[in-house]
Amino acid sequence: MTGHAGFEDQTRLATARERLLDAVVPVASTERVPVGRADGRALAAPVTPRRPVPHYERAAMDGFAVVAESTFGASERSPAVLDVVDADSDEAAPVDSRSAAPVHTGSELPPSADAVVMVESTETFGGEVEVRESVTAGENVVPVGEDVPGDADLYADGHRLRPSDLGLLRSVGVDAVEVYDPPTVDVIPTGDELVDAHPDPGEVVETNGLTVARYVERWGGVANYRDVVPDDRAALRAAVERGLTADVVVTTGGSSVGERDLIADVVADRGTMLEHGLAIKPGHPVGFGVVEDTPVLLLPGYPVSCIVNAVQLLRPALKRAGHLPTPDVPGTTATLDRKIASEPGVRTFARVALEPADDSGSEEAGQRATPVRAGGASVLSSVTDADGWVTIPESVEGLDAGERVTVADWEYQA
């Protein structure tokens, strides 16, 4: 732990995150939904195919379906001459050692055929075809179940469905799947100064709750975006109690230790505060606790601090609640063009903008990372002007110009 003004101790982010995740109870309820509406959902039961793919032997090339033995010894100088089976028949005509049937890529192999001769290796004359290349059994044929065997274990419980998965499920005959319900999140903006629009002097338009609610939706949850709650113990207590029907409660604002920062005391009175004050910048006045088995996350009121902590804490908590993996946030490697200062013992998230390293704009030249601003946790435009953040670990005292850094994309959706 490390000290900071207003907090006796601050817990390191990794430790706090694990403690929060330990308090999150994964959603147990499930529903059955059509495959077309299951994108991004976590499976609540394993899935097996109802049919193999392909479910019939099919031609892998345009050409002629044959009995492979009928082509043995065939060559340019000594082609095998076979009768052409009527291609206009409604039913697939069988072939034998003396015949061949025209097929197209994807066509069902006619009865008795076990190979396909490519059209480039044939020439037709009236009702006959000259085969100028020998083939072996199974050549240019896609067997039943080559893509998906009929006895395959497709997906396990907890697998997060992607668009490609939905296509595969449809192809194997699965029309609906059992998935976990998405976690619900009560998002409660707090503060006497907050208004919906048209602020007078001393008033601020509420944005944190809106931002967090939209992130919740991106991360697989369902957000209940509540009205602003004033800095009043009774009102805050009522808002938290109302939110206990959700899987997670998130408040924005009032999370520090000033006279009007009441939400931590409210949570402590109704339940247990687990952490209050983390060794991160921006956003150290974050906290979380548990009320009646429901995690309550207290995000700071400064917009940048709010977003940083939402990504670092709320995102993994939602993934845990929704039985979903928490993939690493992707990043872009770049060269830092100015020094970034940081405090030892504190994990720092520095906002940076990306641009080509030289005027050519070529990919080979790489990217340059320019700090947007060192402070300004209240300046929301510093987030919108940035392309991501550079994480400076607790063990490092700043980064020098010229260092290679990874710029994390904080708008990553998954």
Q: Using one digit for the tens of pLDDT, what is the confidence trace for 11-63?
A: 999 999 999 999 999 999 999 999 999 999 999 999 999 999 999 999 999 99
Q: What is the pTM of this model?
A: 0.85
Task: Please state the rounded mean pLDDT for residues 334-346.
Answer: 93
**In whole numbers, what is the pLDDT of the chain averaged over residues?**
92
Q: Please tell me the CATH superfamily of domain 331-408, with its number.
A: MoeA, C-terminal, domain IV (2.40.340.10)
User: Which pLDDT value is given to residue 365?
Assistant: 61
CATH (residue range 58-142):
2.170.190.11
Question: In this predicted model, what pLDDT tens digit does every residue of 86-131 receive, in sequence order?
Answer: 755 545 678 999 999 999 999 999 999 999 999 999 999 989 999 9
Check whether domain 40-53+147-180 has CATH 3.90.105, yes or no: yes
pLDDT computed for residue 359 by the predictor: 65
Eight-state DSSP code of residue 130: E
Q: How many helices (H) and strands (E) does the chain have?
A: 8, 26
- The whole-number average pLDDT for the span 201-211 is 95
**Would you list the domain boundaries of the chain?**
2-29+181-321, 40-53+147-180, 58-142, 331-408
CATH of domain 2-29+181-321: 3.40.980.10
Q: What is the mean pLDDT of residues 249-262?
A: 93
